[in-house]
Amino acid sequence: MSDDAFLNVEQSLLGQKWVARLDARGQNTALNIAQTTDIPEIIARIMAARNVAAEEASNFLSPSIRDLMPDPSTMTDCDTGAERLVQAIGLGERVAIFGDYDVDGACSSALLSKFLTHFNVPNEIYIPDRIFEGYGPNPNAIEELINKGAQLIVTVDCGSTSFEALEKAKELNCDVVIIDHHQVNDELPPSVALVNPNRQDDLSGLGHLCAAGVVFMVLVATQRLLRQRKHDKAASFDLLAQLDIVALATVCDVVPLKTLNRAYVVKGLIAARKMHNPGIAALMRIVGIDGPLTPYHLGFLIGPRINAGGRIGDAALGSRLLTLDDPEEADEIAQHLDSLNKERQAMEAKMLEQAEAEVMAEMASGEGPSIIISANDGWHPGIVGLVAARLKEREHRPAFAIAFDANGKGSGSGRSIPGFDVGKMVRQAVDDGLLEKGGGHAMAAGLTVQKEKLGELRTYFEEYAAKNSGDVEEVRSLKIDGALAASGMTPDLVDLIERAGPYGSGHSQPIFVLPAHQLSEVRIVGANHVKLTFRGVDGGKIDGIAFRAADNDMGKFLLNNRGQNFHVAGSISVDYWRGVKRVQIRVLDAALAS
């Protein structure tokens, strides 16, 4: 048994080794923070474990958009794009906003539309149909928008690789401004401006922003130009009040919550809690949020409902909802999105069951493939990304799910683990002629493939993984921030911990362990969730929930071992029930206490 296993847990019920997140250097940083500021020790430890330097500590707890936002001009083509928007505003040109069908696309489209509407610029949002049009601009849609009178097309969260569609716009003499964040190669499509911090010649260092975050910066530059030219409505549009939309996109697109992104979310949550956006307010009512809005609510309750329209319904519903001023119309659309989300959940459960059966059959003969590819003729292409994410979580390796249509054309989506860039792999497969199209990020990618090439694709991905195995950081350990007794997990402690938030991608939720606590109650609730109660030796008790755990090794063991003592790892949060604050632990792992 090694010395560095937390509570000597070498292998938990989920097969993980527990390790202390804070190393010796981090402990020194935490001590320095606590001694030189008025920051409590537990927050100092959390911050140090997430690489916050002592000199940054005070400002970290109060992130400022003003302090953290660089000059938008540092982004390549940002000034050119802003100038073209100013021209459209001055001439009252009709603008078509071409967005993506996910949350980031909906938020980016809505943000730009609200800005243009303020200046009385006629505009419309066009979101492509996921099934019939696929991702990004296509020539037919571009031609249709121009025929309807568009004098400027702005693509948001897409467009950086849409060569054929943007050639069509050029042919028809319509200007295009691209505002995007997806990875691109050296060759770029024709446009007046392509604002994308991930283009090869952009040195802004803002590649971690989601598309809505980039749109926000372009609008900052645009508003600055309008003010310099003394436009009479320039000062009356409150961009900071729109940060609720930017925060929603930032959380749902799972970009790192660091520097400017973190400020977007902190300030955006403040804006959202004021419920000035009727669309977000309507969704908050639908899901019954009782208590302050949190990143969890954005990512797991509001976001999926915005997404539902793009997955299985009208792709434009989410963006439309976010632009509304009428609360009654917002309630109506929110209700519809909620219904679509329930339908999506049922479809996802059926698809996941089929995918897991296929994967289990593959794994039965050994370790199985390094990269999972599950495919089916009857699947809905709008849900494959969710299935891929579940498979990745279950098997702890990159996973793809592909839905084939009647013509043998497959639409797939992949999710990855830290250290393995699936976006790069997919783009390489496109370059090598195996995929019709594809691209994405390090952690997520989409692709289009013909059915007859599925076997070849499996082989290609396996060979790619073998050649790039040094890049793969297979995480089978769980990093622990500290140990706490149930009696010490109080609402005040949670409030204290939240000071170092918000938590998410790149700024992970703190994980604490209840050492040697008795499992006094356990049962299945909802859709395969496990509800638990733990008691400490001092009599303190705390409720817990293990989401989607009833069928995994941990859930099965807990359900069959009531009364035993366990070390329990999880994140703590406050649950609001009829206005009363209660602390609960979201159980992520457990181990028998020796």
Whether 115 is in a domain gets the answer: yes
Whether 348 is in a domain gets the answer: no
Whether 360 is in a domain gets the answer: no
User: Confidence class of residue 418 from pLDDT cuts 50, 70 and 90?
Assistant: confident
**String of DSSP letters for 375-411:** EETT--TTSHHHHHHHHHHHHTS-EEEEEE-TTSEEE
Q: Are residues 132 and 270 in the same domain?
A: yes
Q: Comparing C-alpha atoms, which of 308, 317, 245 is closest to residue 280? A: 245
Q: State how far the Cα of 122 lies from the Cα of 136, in Å rounded to an integer.
A: 22
State pLDDT tens for residues 65-103. 999 999 999 999 999 999 999 999 999 999 999 999 999
State pLDDT tens for residues 273-282. 999 999 999 9
- As given in the structure block, the two tokens for residue 284 are 């908050």
**Containing structural domain, residue 530:** 6-21+481-592
The mean predicted confidence, pLDDT, of the chain is: 93
Q: For position 239, what pLDDT does the model report?
A: 96
Q: State how far the Cα of 121 lies from the Cα of 119, in Å rounded to an integer.
A: 5
State pLDDT tens for residues 144-166. 999 999 999 999 999 999 999 99
**What's the pTM?**
0.89
Q: Are residues 183 and 306 in the same domain?
A: yes
- As given in the structure block, the two tokens for residue 401 are 């799910």
For the cut 70, the answer to whether the pLDDT of residue 284 exceeds it is: yes
Mean pLDDT of 555-561: 96
For the cut 90, the answer to whether the pLDDT of residue 380 exceeds it is: yes
Whether 356 is in a domain gets the answer: no
State pLDDT tens for residues 493-527. 999 999 999 999 889 999 999 999 999 999 999 88
Q: What are phi and psi of 387, to 5 degrees?
A: -65, -40
**Through-space distance between the first and last CA atoms of the chain, rounded to whole angstroms:** 14
- Per the model's pLDDT, the better-predicted residue between 581 and 284 turns out to be 284
For the cut 80, the answer to whether the pLDDT of residue 366 exceeds it is: no
Q: Are residues 389 and 278 in the same domain?
A: no
Percent of the chain at pLDDT exceeding 90? 83
Q: For position 551, what pLDDT does the model report?
A: 87
For the cut 70, the answer to whether the pLDDT of residue 307 exceeds it is: yes
Q: State how far the Cα of 348 lies from the Cα of 350, in Å rounded to an integer.
A: 5
The 3-state DSSP class for residue 233 equals coil
CATH number at residue 464: 3.10.310.30
CATH number at residue 293: 3.90.1640.30
Q: 304, exposed or middle or buried, with CB in 10 Å at 0-12, 13-18, 19+?
A: buried
For the cut 80, the answer to whether the pLDDT of residue 594 exceeds it is: no
Task: Please state whether beta strands 409-415 and 437-440 pair in parallel, antiparallel, or not at all (unpaired).
Answer: unpaired
For the cut 70, the answer to whether the pLDDT of residue 473 exceeds it is: no
Q: Are residues 485 and 401 in the same domain?
A: no
